[in-house]
């Protein structure tokens, strides 16, 4: 059993890669955005946007890990405080933690993906390119061990990620 954290800016391909890897493992994918958008849809607003969503996902991840399921966290994880949630959870449950930092190494392609997603958004939480650039400025570099996957260059990244998680 493994706790895998897929991290990176919006629009880099985290969710697509997480779903493909989850289908192979199999694993539960827990997306912070899904929880955050659902809380907003039900009128739950918080002073620290996204904070409760990370907490809910951590609680759900703990329950899945306790029953022996692999778990993939799908979240931007931009700062150390968010990342520490997963470290604490893995240590508390004595499960391996694997971080997959997902990037899109071509800015034009990254922008195209973000703008396409924004144009077809079904809720207000989908960021536009300006908001992604703002998040990029806030994004703290990862310092620990991780696998970096460039979804622009990697043609078939799933086997490499599965190998890393095993």
Give 47's DSSP letter: S
3-state helix, strand, coil in the chain (%, to 5): 50, 15, 35
Task: Tell me if 125 is assigned to some domain.
Answer: yes
Chain-centre distance for alpha carbon 75: 3
Task: Tell me if 149 is assigned to some domain.
Answer: yes
Preceding peptide of 80 cis, ω within 30°: no
> Is the pLDDT assigned to residue 87 strictly greater than 90?
yes
Least confident range from 12-16, 37-41, 158-162: namely 37-41
Task: Tell me if 40 is assigned to some domain.
Answer: yes
Q: What is the pLDDT of residue 123?
A: 65
pTM: 0.93
Strand partners, 4: 72, 98
Name, in order, each residue with C-beta under 8 angstroms of 129's C-beta and a sequence gap of 6 or more. 111, 114, 115, 118
What average pLDDT does range 41-53 have in this prediction? 84
Number of domains forming the structure of the chain: 1
Q: What is the pLDDT of residue 27?
A: 98
Q: How confident is the model at residue 136 (pLDDT cuts 50, 70, 90)?
A: very high
Measuring CA to CA, which residue among 14, 37, 63 is closest to residue 124? Answer: 37
CA distance 69 to 100: 18
pLDDT tens-digit map of 53-69: 999 999 999 999 999 99
Q: What is the pLDDT of residue 106?
A: 97
CA 143 to each of CA 80, 135, 149: distance values in angstroms, whole numbers, following the listed order: 10, 18, 16
- Residues of the chain above pLDDT 70, percent: 98
Q: At CA 139, angle to CA 124 and CA 75, rounded to 5?
A: 55
What residues make up the domain containing 154? 3-160
What average pLDDT does range 72-87 have in this prediction? 94
CATH code for position 103: 3.40.50.300
Task: Tell me if 166 is assigned to some domain.
Answer: no
Task: Tell me if 165 is assigned to some domain.
Answer: no
Q: How confident is the model at residue 18 (pLDDT cuts 50, 70, 90)?
A: very high
Dihedrals φ, ψ of 72, to 5°? -115, 125
Q: At CA 106, angle to CA 27 and CA 36, rounded to 5?
A: 45
> Is the pLDDT assigned to residue 24 strictly greater than 70?
yes
């Amino acid at each position: 059993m493994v706790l895998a954290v897929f991290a990176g800016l919006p629009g880099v391909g985290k969710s697509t890669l997480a779903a493909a890897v989850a289908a192979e493992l199999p694993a539960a994918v827990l997306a912070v955005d899904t929880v955050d958008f659902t809380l907003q849809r039900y009128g739950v607003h918080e002073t620290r946007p996204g904070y409760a969503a990370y907490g809910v996902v951590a609680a759900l991840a703990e329950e899945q890990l306790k029953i022996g399921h692999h778990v993939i966290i799908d979240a931007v994880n931009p700062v150390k405080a968010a990342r520490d949630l997963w470290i604490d959870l893995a240590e508390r449950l004595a499960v391996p933690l694997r971080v997959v930092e997902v990037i899109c190494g071509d800015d034009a392609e990254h922008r195209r993906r973000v703008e396409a997603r924004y144009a077809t958004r079904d809720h207000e939480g989908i960021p536009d390119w300006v908001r992604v650039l703002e998040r990029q400025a806030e994004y703290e570099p990862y310092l620990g061990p991780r696998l970096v996957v460039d979804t622009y260059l990697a043609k078939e990244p799933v086997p490499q990620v599965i190998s890393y998680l095993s």
